Chains A and B, each alone.
Chain A
Amino acid sequence: METLSYLIDGFASAVSPMNLLMCAVGVLLGTAVGVLPGLGPSSAIAILLPVTATLEPMQSIIMLAGIYYGAQYGGSTTSILLNIPGEAASIVTCLDGYPMAKQGRGGPALGIAAIGSFIAGTIGVLGLTFFAPIFARSALAFGPPEYTMLMVMSFSIVMSFAGNSLSKGILIGFLGMLLACVGPGWVSGYLRFCWNVDQLTGGLNLVPIVIGLMAISEVLKGLEEQSVAISTEQVGSVFPSKADLKRSAGPIIRGTFIGFILGLLPGCAPTVSTFLSYDLEKKVSKHPEKFGTGMIEGVASPESANNANGVAGFIPLFSFGIPTSAAMAILLVGLTMFGIQPGPTLFTSGGEFVWTVIASMFIGNLLLIILNLPLVGIWAKITKVPYGILAPVIVSLCVIGSYTIRNSMFDVLITFLFGYIGYVMRKHQWPIVPLIIGFILGPIFERNFITSMSMSNESFLIFIQRPISAGILVLTVVLLILSHFLKKRTASRVKASVDSSMDLPDDVS
């Protein structure tokens, strides 16, 4: 019940005019970002992070979080109406959403996407409210050896889940870890991979790399593709019928559950959970053959999954300081920038901060459903802006964002370099997720591994002598075996339903 009183205090603080405004700005920007192809939530947060540094920490994080979960809403609009996924997590929504729109049932599809998102988002925040403090309290029991094993587990999951081939996943994951090694080594301060370039002695920064890999490469790819989508003018009422609601109730709950659980694990970004939940719906449905022709279940479930997934990612972030995706990693950069340390203290002494942010998520979800249903038409129009105009705008935002994070022209060069690398990788269907996750988790692994070694006088036994650490190791092996089977099934089923050459998508946002 302590939690409840904290949460009420959080609400009191979240409804202050400035916090409310930031929440509204965040979710609106997020929706826009979700709608626009080429600008995902992680790059949007990366670009805006330096700008929000001028705000109070609370307002800034409220806004950045709003962008993150707002984007999950926005992505569905264009998927359904135009068959253009605004971001990778909405690809699955196209499968049944667009056929629905062609049949003149675009309205109910949008409605159910928003309702599903709202329910999943709210359940997700409820989970965050009650689980995060419990996890945070147990975080003290997690010392360096436990973190080391957690990272081993994360890597195994990411590398086996992301992309279409295990070997590519492993290779690229290690490349990401190597990139993170640039700069002074942990503890020793010994310079690695610096080649006498002064700017490299501080290491590579996450923000320009994410902006490059996610935004610039997407723009490059978008410029060469000719969009052939036909807009469906006939939207119909956005309010689903009773029958629609009845059919969607189950999928929404199942999607929420899948999204939430996967959201706790690193690398299992919204995208993966949408594919899994779509697959599950097909499996439990009495008419699996009708999927892809405009089944409302095929919209409700993935849309719920990606929202629950997005919110669940805040649990490991707030309780352990472990980012599960690029967007979360950048939020972590933001937290550290404001001197806020995730972990047990966040929920006790610094309580006001975290509870206000959580309360703002409840409010944000409400704002999203109020704003989105009537504004659907306007969002759809955004995509009619010619890409020739949109692309330069996005690129200039990228340059500003990557420059201001450290006031460094070098970072701008890094952004373009990684933009090109990302473009080549996308072209050749190399997954980008493992690269970013490797870059984020690599240093956490290295630090905790070195610390564990220092604590144990260089004995590896420390990893199996401590019960929690040993437990995670066993769990990793079990998960690896499980994911091997799971992946085989999902991949073949998704391939069957997506008749294009679409691979499991590479977005972690």
Chain B
Amino acid sequence: MKKITAIALTLSLTLSALLTGCGSTSDSSDQASFPDRQVEIVVGYSAGSSPDLLARALADRLSEKWGVPVMVTNKTDGSSATAIKEFLSTAEPDGYTITIGTIADLCLHMAVNKQPLYDASDFTYVCQTSQYPMSVTVKADAPWNTFGELSDWVVKNPGELLYCSSSMTGASAFATAEWVNTIGGDFNAARLVPITGSSDAAVKVAGGNATVIIGSITGVLPMVEAGELKILVMTPYADPNYPDIPSAEESGVSGLTFGNWNGIVMPSGVSEDILNTWREALGEICSDEAFIDQMQKVGVPVVYADGADWEQQVLNSIEDYKQLAEELGLRK
């Protein structure tokens, strides 16, 4: 009998606490109470990678802002795509778990695979936090001094181009494919030199084992400074941090659009209020000068975008790359 009384008492106490708790916030809806516990950022890339650096910097700012712990979890026991698949199957759409994806996860995966592990409709798109132009880099003593000269050579010498990319479907391969296609060259004749990362690519190009790497500038910069490599252009647009390097357009090749970016997504079905809380917080962080500087230093330039326009842009990109992959026979 005593036991039952005790249980009843505990229950009623809990209930009343809950009710009063809700009573104070029910007027201002979920928005005011979110977040009231730990937030987790899942990253499908290893520590030290661009998405990881971004996640850790954001986590610091967010926990300062919200007063709750924000944890970064690196999930690298599969590919980044399997990490997202696992994220989608375990995370609740309550705003407490988010993930950071790259163009490879959020566009190319769906564009290349006929049976992707997830679809665009599985996500709630929060925002884009950063965007990078890619650098076109060749050996320092290579005969080409402009992107235009390199392009002419590629068109005139089909089968001679050795390009670097992690795979046939990597971001660098897409950038190279778009470029070769645009200038009227034969991409299918070009040969792939597979790489493990952009710094590996730098060594391959500097050693004369590959012609060109189109990829992140941070990976090639050390070898450029050592005088082994030269950067011809930035694509699709010039990087304001490297004003001396022209854009592809300025070097006589127009029509290139492919660039890399990082976006933040949650599982589909997150309420509008929570989504807005996230966008507000991230938008504020991404307009903070100190944060922009900090990210610039680690090579993850902040370019913020959100809302329906951005979402539409992502969806359009998927279709565009699907088409390109189809044309190049990359879609499987």
Interface residue ranges of B159-214 to A (CB < 8 Å): 162, 167-169, 191-194, 196-197, 199-200, 202-204, 206-209
Instruction: Report yes or no: A205 in contact with B77, Cβ–Cβ below 8 A.
Output: yes
CB distance from B242 to the nearest CB of A (A): 16
CB distance from A223 to the nearest CB of B (A): 30
- Complex Cα distance, B204 from A141, in Å, reads 10
Interface residue ranges of B61-95 to A (CB < 8 Å): 73-79, 82, 85-86
Q: Which of B219-227, B252-260, B264-272 touches A?
A: B219-227
- Residues of chain A within 8 A (CB-CB) of B245 are none
- Residues of chain A within 8 A (CB-CB) of B306 are none
- Determine if B251 is an interface residue (Cβ-Cβ < 8 Å): no
- Complex Cα distance, B225 from A234, in Å, reads 61
Instruction: Report yes or no: A406 in contact with B226, Cβ–Cβ below 8 A.
Output: no
- Determine if A237 is an interface residue (Cβ-Cβ < 8 Å): no
Instruction: Report yes or no: B191 in contact with A410, Cβ–Cβ below 8 A.
Output: no
Interface residue ranges of B119-167 to A (CB < 8 Å): 162, 167
- Determine if A370 is an interface residue (Cβ-Cβ < 8 Å): no
- Determine if B47 is an interface residue (Cβ-Cβ < 8 Å): yes
- Determine if A457 is an interface residue (Cβ-Cβ < 8 Å): yes
Instruction: Report yes or no: A199 in contact with B78, Cβ–Cβ below 8 A.
Output: yes
- Determine if B48 is an interface residue (Cβ-Cβ < 8 Å): yes
Band of interface residues on A? 35 or more
Most buried by B among A202, A349, A406: A202
Instruction: Report yes or no: B209 in contact with A187, Cβ–Cβ below 8 A.
Output: no
Q: Residue-by-residue, is A303-345 near B (CB-CB < 8 Å gives 1, otherwise 0)?
A: 0000000000000000000000000000000001111010111
- Residues of chain A within 8 A (CB-CB) of B31 are none
- Determine if B228 is an interface residue (Cβ-Cβ < 8 Å): yes
- Determine if B46 is an interface residue (Cβ-Cβ < 8 Å): yes
- Residues of chain A within 8 A (CB-CB) of B48 are 336-339
CB distance from B321 to the nearest CB of A (A): 16
CB distance from A248 to the nearest CB of B (A): 43
- Determine if A53 is an interface residue (Cβ-Cβ < 8 Å): yes
- Residues of chain B within 8 A (CB-CB) of A141 are 207
Number of interchain pairs (Cβ within 8 Å): 100
- Determine if A411 is an interface residue (Cβ-Cβ < 8 Å): yes
Q: Which of A8-16, A101-109, A446-454 touches B?
A: A446-454
CB distance from A417 to the nearest CB of B (A): 15
Instruction: Report yes or no: A344 in contact with B46, Cβ–Cβ below 8 A.
Output: no
Instruction: Report yes or no: A349 in contact with B162, Cβ–Cβ below 8 A.
Output: no
- Determine if A267 is an interface residue (Cβ-Cβ < 8 Å): no
CB distance from A347 to the nearest CB of B (A): 10
- Chain B interface, number of residues (Cβ within 8 angstroms): 38
- Determine if A186 is an interface residue (Cβ-Cβ < 8 Å): yes
CB distance from A337 to the nearest CB of B (A): 5
- Residues of chain A within 8 A (CB-CB) of B225 are 349
- Complex Cα distance, B202 from A408, in Å, reads 32
Instruction: Report yes or no: B47 in contact with A349, Cβ–Cβ below 8 A.
Output: no
- Residues of chain B within 8 A (CB-CB) of A450 are 194
CB distance from B227 to the nearest CB of A (A): 9
- Residues of chain B within 8 A (CB-CB) of A18 are none
The residue that A341 contacts in the complex, of B77, B193, B200, with Cβ under 8 A, is: B200
The residue that A345 contacts in the complex, of B75, B167, B197, B223, with Cβ under 8 A, is: B223
- Residues of chain A within 8 A (CB-CB) of B167 are 187-189
- Complex Cα distance, B74 from A184, in Å, reads 19
CB distance from A338 to the nearest CB of B (A): 5
The residue that A344 contacts in the complex, of B78, B82, B203, with Cβ under 8 A, is: B203
- Complex Cα distance, B78 from A144, in Å, reads 26
- Residues of chain A within 8 A (CB-CB) of B169 are 189
The residue that A407 contacts in the complex, of B75, B168, B193, B199, with Cβ under 8 A, is: B75
- Residues of chain B within 8 A (CB-CB) of A202 are 76-79, 82
Tell me the nearest residue of chain A to B198, going by C-beta.
Answer: A341
CB distance from B199 to the nearest CB of A (A): 4
Tell me the nearest residue of chain B to A346, going by C-beta.
Answer: B222
Interface residue ranges of A124-159 to B (CB < 8 Å): 139-144
Given the known A-B contacts A201-B82, A349-B226, are A143 and B196 also in contact in the complex, defined by CB atoms under 8 Å? Answer: no
Tell me the nearest residue of chain A to B78, going by C-beta.
Answer: A202
- Complex Cα distance, B206 from A142, in Å, reads 11
Identify the 4 closest CB pairs spanning chains A and B, nearest first: A202-B78, A341-B199, A143-B209, A349-B222
The contact sample of 20 A-B pairs, CB cut-off 8 A, is A140-B206, A140-B228, A144-B193, A188-B168, A189-B169, A198-B85, A198-B86, A202-B78, A341-B203, A343-B199, A344-B203, A344-B206, A344-B226, A345-B202, A406-B75, A408-B75, A410-B77, A447-B196, A450-B194, A451-B194
- A: residues with CB less than 8 A from B are 53, 139-144, 184, 186-189, 198-199, 201-202, 205, 336-339, 341, 343-345, 348-350, 406-408, 410-411, 447, 450-451, 454-455, 457
- B: residues with CB less than 8 A from A are 46-49, 73-79, 82, 85-86, 162, 167-169, 191-194, 196-197, 199-200, 202-204, 206-209, 222-223, 225-226, 228
10 more CB-based (< 8 A) A-B contacts, given A140-B207, A344-B206: A140-B228, A186-B194, A188-B167, A198-B86, A205-B77, A337-B48, A343-B203, A345-B223, A406-B74, A450-B194
